[in-house]
Amino acid sequence: MRLLALCCLLSGCAHSTLTADAARARVKQGALLLDVRSPGEFAEGHLMGSVNVPVNELESTLQSLPADRRREIIVYGAGSSKARTLLLRAGYTKVEDLVTWK
């Protein structure tokens, strides 16, 4: 429940966001689902198939992300807006925020 509430908070973001159905389809097509919350929050519960890279560690761990900067990345969690901006500045061209996942 806490995770759903967290994802719902993203709906107020001014940048591009995805619906749950659109995100599911994109993950099936190969998009990376990136949880940018803390390891503790990730351990409490996360979306199946997501990879945890806390937003405050993202810049220093960019090498662990796909080398193909055209691969789509779907970010979620507190700090997802900051993560999206950082990924776009690093050259990733398809980075979106998750609104809800049901």
**Domains by residue range for the chain, with CATH:** 2-98 (3.40.250.10)
* pLDDT tens-digit readout, 7-40: 444 434 445 677 778 888 899 999 999 999 999 9
Give the up-direction half-sphere exposure of residue 96: CA atoms within 13 A in the CB hemisphere.
20
pTM: 0.79
* C-alpha dist (Å) from residue 21 to 11, 29, 102: 15, 13, 8
Total length of the chain = 102
